[in-house]
Chains A and B, each alone.
Chain A
């Protein structure tokens, strides 16, 4: 499929439930959502190879359970939910392997950020990633979705199952914590 071809979600969902067209339709889904899902996952797991694995798992899980998707929610919401669950599962497994407590924050993920060949940010950007990684997991998600993806609170609310008010508060707390991190690590 050409990326210039118009993506019609309703048509794609209908095609997904037709055995004759489901594979082609899912290919369109991959084409349309791979980039946004990748960046969401990447900001959570930090490493490119890990993000690639999690993204593949996300699409595999979506594909194998496509029969359960009846179009009650938007496809993007459903995919984001899978991606977030896969990311959190991956991070928790990595914590166990690194002998880090599951209650600790995800700072261990950014330990080798500056030596990562798929990170070309400067010191300030690396510091921002450290500050974000030090946030509680839900605040990280909220911050990344709002700050980098500029996602609407209503959409985030559908994906995360949290009220808009709570998400706004979470984003506000995240910014305050990042500011504090920068002030403390000057």
Chain B
């Protein structure tokens, strides 16, 4: 630090020339303490209640439950729509050509596929099909 100081500052020393009234600091504490208003202090030593401790985890669980419910709802909506569309497409194919039979004759379809196919055909027979030649 000494190296930083100039010769002028060395000559002047550290006395700023300021002074305070006599016993200023002796009285200050008492005067200042008397001026302090009442404030509300949060006691950090008080143990938080069970709910306060569990609350963040409860909120987290509720958030995940909400996300799960939303996924269920959206999947339900999308699943129904796409399932119905597939059935319609298959039924349309049967009405137009016999390519489904050809596919099955080649042995590429399992028993389950055949049964699903038959169910979907039976279901689609109840509904009128759109006329694909005159849209």
A residues bordering B, Cβ < 8 Å? Answer: 1, 16-19, 22-23, 26-27, 30-31, 34-35, 38-39, 42-43, 46, 48, 55-56, 59-60, 63-64, 66-67, 118-122, 124-126, 128-129, 146-148, 150, 171-172, 175, 178-179, 182
Q: Which residue of B15, B20, B39, B42 contacts A63 across the interface (Cβ within 8 Å)? A: B39
Complex contacts, A1 vs chain B, CB 8 Å? 29
From the candidates B6, B36, B42, name the one contacting A17 in the complex (CB within 8 A).
B42
B47 at the A/B interface (Cβ < 8 Å)? no
Could you tell me if B32 and A56 are in contact, using CB atoms closer than 8 angstroms?
yes
Contact at A129–B16, with CB atoms within 8 Å?
yes
Chain B residue, CB-CB nearest to A172: B4
* Identity of the chain A residue whose Cβ is nearest the Cβ of B42 in the assembled complex: A67
Cross-chain contact B4 with A67 (CB below 8 angstroms): no
Q: State whether B16 touches A27 (Cβ < 8 A).
A: no
Is A148 a contact of B16 with CB atoms below 8 Å? yes
Q: Is B1 an interface residue, CB under 8 A from the partner?
A: yes
For the complex of A and B, the 5 pairs showing the least CB-CB separation, nearest first, are A121-B17, A125-B17, A17-B44, A19-B41, A27-B33
Chain A contact residues: over half helix, strand or loop, or mixed?
helix
Q: Closest chain A residue to B26 by CB distance?
A: A3
Give per-residue flags for B68-93: 1 if the beta carbon is below 8 A from chain A beta carbons, else 0.
Answer: 00000000000000000000000000
Interfacial chain B residues near A38, Cβ < 8 Å? 20, 25, 28
Q: Are A126 and B17 within 8 A (Cβ)?
A: yes
Give the residue among B1, B19, B32, B42 with the most A Cβ atoms within 10 A. B32
30 of the cross-chain contacts (CB-CB < 8 Å) are A1-B29, A17-B41, A17-B43, A17-B44, A18-B44, A19-B41, A22-B41, A23-B33, A26-B33, A30-B29, A34-B25, A34-B28, A34-B32, A39-B18, A43-B16, A46-B18, A60-B36, A66-B39, A67-B42, A119-B19, A120-B17, A121-B15, A121-B16, A124-B11, A125-B15, A125-B16, A148-B16, A175-B4, A179-B6, A182-B8
